[in-house]
Amino acid sequence: MGDNVIPLADLRYAAERPRIPAELSLPSGLLPDRLGRPLRDLRISVTDRCNFRCSYCMPKEVFDRDYRFLPQSSLLSFEEITRVARAFVAHGVRKLRLTGGEPLLRKHLESLVGMLASLRTPEGDELDLTLTTNASLLERKAHALADAGLKRITVSLDALDDVVFRRMNDVDFPVADVLRGIDAALAAGLGPVKVNMVVKRGTNDHEIVPMARYFRERHGARVALRFIEYMDVGSTNGWRMDEVLPSAQVVERLSQVFPLEPVEATQPGETAQRWRYRDGAGEVGLISSVTQAFCRDCNRARLSTEGKLFLCLFATRGHDLRALLRGVQATGQPWTDAQIAAAIGLIWSERSDRYSELRSAEAPASDVGTRRVEMHYIGG
């Protein structure tokens, strides 16, 4: 391993094995945490690998050819992922998002999509099953994913200018291939497509208006463009506050060209503040995780590639669900679905995370000497 690699094994393997309550109770479908936030959204990372090396997520100087990604045997199998997802659905989860790394690098992913698409809520309803991708492989896989039961797609795209985009993905990948992937997703029925642009001041903020112009003119309401404030996720991206462009300034720039009006949220826990073009040509969203924290409505949990449950995007430790999926009780019997569901319920009910609300110019005292989990490991 190269000398410049920052070891992340403490995040991968140092996790608490969940406690099993002495008395098991059936999930009620409504599981509040200590701040009254229900569990509604589960992000599932299916791989820690990615074919891009974006500086804000997987900088090349850290994730180089010598970097040791997780071995295949460490990853949760599709059957294990489905088993865990079923327990979360019993507790009230209504949305499953597949992520990574780059999830389309996981072989036979459409098989997992099919397994998750077969899950139903206690009321018998289908889940909102979606996926976030850099779209590098989307053109060839969109129809298979849709046929397997995927509902929607979110595409990460940080610039339309090919020179800027190649520089940001740092593997010389052309923007034209991503745009074809978006077209393929729409053709396959995976719409409306959300396109996420991480805005980094001095790097790609000049692309805000061109991005908005392209998608509103080419796709209208079929594509929802969302601008995300550059976040201090993980410990390898060299985050600085002066590179954050506040969402309020993004709205100002857009409004000078395309008049906007605010849109009310349709459901609790929405991360994006929505704005509608006044001429009816669709809408944009602003995710202000740095300047306007939304912790009080956060209803999301994250499952890592190897089965660690994280309750916050800025967490430092996880809960090892894989230990229950693959382990046995003192009696030698495997842990049951009811026991695993009870363990998940206990973990969420004790949750009080609200990192972004407590963020300040200096690292919070609880962060000193710790390393937060990396974005590629648990997804966005």
Question: 3-class secondary structure for the chain?
Answer: CCCCCCCCHHHHHCCECCCCCCCCCCCCCCCECCCCCECCEEEEECCCCCCCCCCCCCCCCCCCCCCCCCCHHHCCCHHHHHHHHHHHHHCCCCEEEEECCCHHHCCCHHHHHHHHHCCECCCCCECEEEEEECCCCHHHHHHHHHHHCCCEEEEECCCCCHHHHHHHHCCCCCHHHHHHHHHHHHHCCCCCEEEEEEEECCCCHHHHHHHHHHHHHHCHHHEEEEEEECCCCCCCCCCCHHHECCHHHHHHHHHCCCCEEEECCCCCCCCCEEEEECCCCCEEEEECCCCCCCHHHCCEEEECCCCEEECCCCCCCCEEHHHHHHCECCCCCECCHHHHHHHHHHHHHCCCCCHHHHCCCCCCHHHCCCCCCCHHHHCC
Residue 297 binned pLDDT confidence (cut-offs 50, 70, 90): confident
- Tell me the CA distances in angstroms from 281 to 181, 187, 224, 257, 332, one per residue in order: 22, 20, 10, 13, 61
In a domain, 128, yes or no: yes
The CATH number of whichever domain residue 31 belongs to comes to 3.20.20.70
Euclidean distance between CA atoms 161 and 204, whole angstroms: 9
In a domain, 1, yes or no: no
Asked if pLDDT for residue 268 goes beyond 70, the answer is no
Asked if pLDDT for residue 95 goes beyond 60, the answer is yes
Longest dimension (CA), the chain: 68
In a domain, 189, yes or no: yes
Average pLDDT, the chain: 89
> pLDDT at position 3, please?
40
In a domain, 3, yes or no: no
- Quick: pLDDT tens for 124-175: 999 999 999 999 999 999 999 999 999 999 999 999 999 999 999 999 999 9
Asked if residues 249 and 291 have their Cβ atoms less than 8 Å apart, the reply is no
- Quick: pLDDT tens for 305-362: 999 999 988 777 899 999 999 999 989 999 999 999 999 999 999 999 887 667 543 4
pTM to 2 decimal places: 0.90
In a domain, 4, yes or no: no
Q: 149 is in which domain, residue-wise? A: 9-378
Q: What total number of domains does the chain contain?
A: 1
In a domain, 2, yes or no: no
Using N-to-C axis directions, what is the helix angle for 175-187 and 162-169, rounded to 10°?
90
